Structure 1
Amino acid sequence: MIKPVAPTLMDRFLAGVAPNFATRRYHARLSLNYMGQYAGARSNRAALKAWRTHPGSADSDTLGDLPALRSRSRDLGRNNPIATGARQTSKSNVVGSGLRVRSKLNPKLLGMSPEAAELWERKSETLFDLWAQSKLCDITLTQNFYELQGLVFSAVFESGDTFVLRRTPKRPNAVVPLALNVIEADRVATPSELEGEYLIRDGVRIDEDGAPVAYIVLNEHPGERQTYTVNGFTEIPAFGKKSGEQMVLHIFERMRPGLNRGIPALAPVIEILKQLDRYSEAELMKAVVSSFFTVFLKTSGDDGFAGATSGLPGMGANDVTMGPGTIVDIGTDEEIQTAQPANTANFDPFFQSVVRQIGVALSIPFELLMMHFTASYSASRASLEMAAQFFRDRRTWLVRNFCAPVYEWFLTDAINAGLIDAPGFFNDPVKRAAWLGAQWIGPARIILDPLKEWKAETEAVNLGARTIEQVIIERGGDDFEQTTAQRAREHTARAAAKLEPEVLAPSGMGSRVNEDIEQKGDGTDKPKPKKAEKKQ
């Protein structure tokens, strides 16, 4: 191990006169003593000479670029098909029609019987679903909780982060006095009068440990029209002063230690998407122009076709319009010069190659990003399995940062309102975590071969690796109890019509039980007597 370089007499003298210069001088000498061996850090190679980087902190490398990244990401989301498809594909597979909660208590830890725990779970799920289905859960009365999940996911995808405020408006028909206020990323910013404060990072006030203390929310969106301007800002504490309850959810993915704002998902591919967009537009225009059949007619005077185009609205004297079957008059001394564009027969392979790179950056396979399944079953299945891992990770992230905290807010208000009884919820953190135990079930995965997939689900249920409730919710998004009750009614009707046996085969024993029923009868007919064996 190389020992650090000891400061010289000159170093100590400069430290007293010019400390900043002395520090840079000392570190320069130190770097010579610790020369690394990574080729990627060399500056004397031809490929790396012009590559200048700055070792900044997470915030200094990010915060200054966020306004441009957000606006360009949103523009691509509005006008670029690939960006729009990537957002919608991710949203559909992560959120779908909404993540549904299933309460999962630990009866032994809470000192409850399994029957009492099940009753509590069903009651809490019913109350939460009543609140979540109503638009009263949205402060703007526009979306229910399941739709807000999609809004939050899309906002983070395009803007990098978003904020959810805990509001308690007085609404007479609400299950609990809880409403969510989703704030766009641009509204959390540092006002001009607070700029320069070290502990405020783009609207996020932090403490000495880097933990959020408060969020500064502008009373208007920075991009709002002047006619709707409402000046000023409001500083909202991150946690309640008396209760310590979380009051604001800052939903983003921290990519580096010390990063206080989120980065849009399209940030690494913004330039590629824009260049590919321009390339596609040029190719489209070339195809349109090439499809026109235009006749150019030379005339010796002004009594030909020249007067036919004069006076058309929006056309100047020298404007020429091409189109299918168009006849354009030109003068005797004029001739047509056309530019022959280069042959772009390789447009589609090049386009697909670039889209594959975009898919890698967004963790979405090419087949799913382009909705183009032409490969073999094994290749398509492998792509979907890789995508399923990414979507499962994003779903877990959304649950931890948005769904689970909102569920905790709801239970807190429901317990305070006397709708639910949960002893120890407020004074025992272990029991509080036990009462909050829940599972969130999302949309079903894409199925390439339904028969194989359903057989696999059946085996998983028989082995105990999955529950029928999980299968019902993931495959159709339906409620287990409602589906079971409907299935019971259907079975009763079909059994009465002798279309099904009165006793269905248990799971995993269907073939054996059905054989017994065929041999013994279904209970409505008398068993047939066996024929006597003939003596030989």
Structure 2
Amino acid sequence: MKPIAPTLMDRFLASVAPTYAQRRFHARLSFNYMGQYAGAKSNRAALKSWRPYAGSADADTLGDLMVLRSRSRDLVRNNPIAAGARQTSQINVVGTGLRLRAKLNAKLLGMAEKAAEEWERKAETLFDLWASSKACDVTMRQNFYELQSLVFNTKFESGDAFILRRTSKLRHAVAPLALNIIEADRVATPPQLAGDFMIRDGVRIDEDGAPISYIVLNEHPGNWILNTFPIFEEIPAYGAKSGEQMVLHVFDRMRPEQNRGIPALAPVIEILKQLDRYSEAELMKAVVSSFFTVFLKTETGEDGFASALPGHYGFGPNEVAMGPGTIVDIGTNEEIQTAQPANTSNFDPFFQSVVRQIGVALSIPFELLMMHFTASYSASRAALEIAAQFFRDRRIWLVRNFCAPVYEWFMVDAINAGLISAPGFFSDPVRRAAWLGAQWIGPSRIILDPLKEWKAESEAVNLGARTIEEVIIERSGGDFEQITAQRVREHAARAAGKLEPEILAPAGMGSQVKEDVSPQPADPAGTPAKKPEKKQ
């Protein structure tokens, strides 16, 4: 079939009404190229009025972001499910903060194993000193581990967060690096540049769609306290001389050519608000049903017991307030009529059904979203495993988009300050990547039955499917070398006190059992204990 080319009328309409011309041309394309998908048919009763516009990623999102952000933040402030979803995600993804474990590529750098371990421990110590200090925050309010939660929560509510590379205000800071977290609303397009096609809601891009710079307001546009004229500052994405990244734009890119992030609650904003209204109505119904109110009918309706109550309690002259133990005065010609609300005994099943849909959209199982574990062990374990996959994905995403770039910024400043040596870091991109190797340890997973799950981990280690270090990191978030060194010290102390033999045969950790050649202690009867038989 010969391809359809735009007609003269199409070109004319494109110059005066581009949106209409595009829809008209696409409609003609659809008419000539009829597919076989039922979901694309327009002659079905369920699909006749469903005609969404096929816009670009920016066209579908940029115009709605201001409303989406404000509604998302309102839900997080006032809706229990939205607030719980954010808090549950933050606790399981970030927790008290992701900790650095340096893992440089010693082989690629030509370093001996011992020298590499010493360099890693020094890098970890320096970074932790910087990260634990509030000097790493340009506002001097939070340390780096707390900033991780701030970035995660900001992205959850607003869709994206911006981190500017700044210099610390303290002279005695471990490293001169400081971070400035910028909320999404402050990155915007100035009115005089509204028609610039290469600026997408404050993000200036090149012809390939890569960010060149970010236009930042000096204050939040919703800061009603300040009545000042807005000042815009354009900050380059990369340094002109150094080529170093100067701004981190943390967001989920769901489509090609998407330049701004979307709040996590965007797909469920409407259903959350409707469920909130439904719950509020049910709560009010239960409260009103619990009231016991007595109505006194008098001859005049003016000199009764409750005639002074309305003005005293702040109600208007025509208002009647119900309440527990309330006495209300009514006149002779007045009577009481009540409207019985509909029976909603199915509130809880319906509520749970809707919350399950919300959980699907947010990738959080119903049991964890509602903190309601009443199913069997297997069902609860499956829910936690599904949640663990989602949280692991979000943690890796946060590391790649925030933690790892910040660690690179820190290493640049630490090397320039002479705190640490990394030959070839600035001259060789391969060696730079080798020096920046790292592992980030997050919060431990939820364990339903510790005995069962630790036995399963022990079997996995014996089979060689897992390492002890992997188990320690996932289950407790600890450090293998530190834990091992501590166990060695504890064993030496207990062996010196005759509380356990000097040579241990670790059970369930895949080690070979060694024969104990030390003197065997006697049993209470004075008979020496038998030596364990050597396994063949």
Report the TM-score when normalising by structure 2. Answer: 0.91
Tell me how far apart the structure 2 counterparts of residues 406 and 413 of structure 1 sit (CA, whole Å): 11
Once the two structures are superposed, residues 142-191 of structure 1 have per-residue CA deviations (whole angstroms, 9 ceiling, x without a partner) of 11111111110110000000000111235222111101100000000001
* Worse overlay, 38-47 or 335-344: 38-47
Match for residue 148 of structure 1?
A: 147
Q: How does 1:10-409 map to 2 (within 5 A)?
A: 11=7, 29-227=28-226, 229=228, 231-301=230-300, 302-309=302-309, 311-409=311-409
Q: Is the 1:384–1:446 contact (alpha carbons within 8 Å) kept by the matching residues of 2? A: yes
* Worse overlay, 468-477 or 340-349: 468-477
Once the two structures are superposed, residues 328-368 of structure 1 have per-residue CA deviations (whole angstroms, 9 ceiling, x without a partner) of 11111111101101111000000000000000000011111
Letter in 1 for 2:251: F
Letter in 2 for 1:503: I
- Unmatched tracts of structure 1, length 5 or more: 531-536
Q: Name the SS of the counterpart of 1:259 in structure 2.
A: coil
Q: Is the 1:501–1:522 contact (alpha carbons within 8 Å) kept by the matching residues of 2? A: no
**Shift, 1:452, TM fit:** 1.5
Tell me how far apart the structure 2 counterparts of residues 467 and 200 of structure 1 sit (CA, whole Å): 49
Once the two structures are superposed, residues 98-122 of structure 1 have per-residue CA deviations (whole angstroms, 9 ceiling, x without a partner) of 1111111222211111111111111
What is the aligned residue count?
524
Identity %: 76
Q: Cα distance 1:442–1:522, how it changes in 2: closer, same or farther (>3 A)? A: farther
Q: Is the 2:186–2:219 contact (alpha carbons within 8 Å) kept by the matching residues of 1? A: yes
Tell me how far apart the structure 1 counterparts of residues 192 and 504 of structure 2 sit (CA, whole Å): 73
Q: Cα distance 1:14–1:46, how it changes in 2: closer, same or farther (>3 A)? A: closer
**Shift, 1:304, TM fit:** 3.1
Letter in 1 for 2:201: D
Q: Name the SS of the counterpart of 2:504 in structure 1.
A: coil
Q: Is the 2:461–2:510 contact (alpha carbons within 8 Å) kept by the matching residues of 1? A: no
Q: Cα distance 1:329–1:180, how it changes in 2: closer, same or farther (>3 A)? A: same
Q: How does 1:425-464 map to 2 (within 5 A)?
A: 425-463=425-463
Match for residue 534 of structure 2?
A: none
Letter in 1 for 2:190: P
Letter in 1 for 2:216: V
Tell me how far apart the structure 2 counterparts of residues 16 and 73 of structure 1 sit (CA, whole Å): 41
Letter in 2 for 1:502: E
Q: Is the 1:502–1:522 contact (alpha carbons within 8 Å) kept by the matching residues of 2? A: no
Q: Name the SS of the counterpart of 1:150 in structure 2.
A: helix
Q: Is the 1:462–1:507 contact (alpha carbons within 8 Å) kept by the matching residues of 2? A: no
Tell me how far apart the structure 2 counterparts of residues 19 and 343 of structure 1 sit (CA, whole Å): 56
Letter in 2 for 1:316: G
Match for residue 534 of structure 1?
A: none
**Shift, 1:16, TM fit:** 8.4
Q: Name the SS of the counterpart of 2:55 in structure 1.
A: coil
**Shift, 1:456, TM fit:** 2.7
Report the TM-score when normalising by structure 1. Answer: 0.91
Once the two structures are superposed, residues 80-108 of structure 1 have per-residue CA deviations (whole angstroms, 9 ceiling, x without a partner) of 00000000111111111111111112222
Tell me how far apart the structure 1 counterparts of residues 287 and 27 of structure 2 sit (CA, whole Å): 61
Q: Cα distance 1:400–1:27, how it changes in 2: closer, same or farther (>3 A)? A: closer
Letter in 1 for 2:47: L
Match for residue 533 of structure 2?
A: none
Tell me how far apart the structure 1 counterparts of residues 173 and 463 of structure 2 sit (CA, whole Å): 42
Q: Name the SS of the counterpart of 2:419 in structure 1.
A: coil
Tell me how far apart the structure 2 counterparts of residues 342 and 529 of structure 1 sit (CA, whole Å): 78
Letter in 1 for 2:173: A
Q: Is the 2:135–2:168 contact (alpha carbons within 8 Å) kept by the matching residues of 1? A: no
Tell me how far apart the structure 1 counterparts of residues 232 and 50 of structure 2 sit (CA, whole Å): 41
Q: Name the SS of the counterpart of 2:312 in structure 1.
A: coil
**Shift, 1:477, TM fit:** 3.9
Tell me how far apart the structure 1 counterparts of residues 310 and 5 of structure 2 sit (CA, whole Å): 87
Tell me how far apart the structure 2 counterparts of residues 15 and 247 of structure 1 sit (CA, whole Å): 44
**Shift, 1:226, TM fit:** 4.3
Tell me how far apart the structure 2 counterparts of residues 108 and 84 of structure 1 sit (CA, whole Å): 47
Q: Name the SS of the counterpart of 1:91 in structure 2.
A: helix
Letter in 2 for 1:449: D
Letter in 2 for 1:476: S
Q: Cα distance 1:241–1:33, how it changes in 2: closer, same or farther (>3 A)? A: same
Letter in 1 for 2:416: N
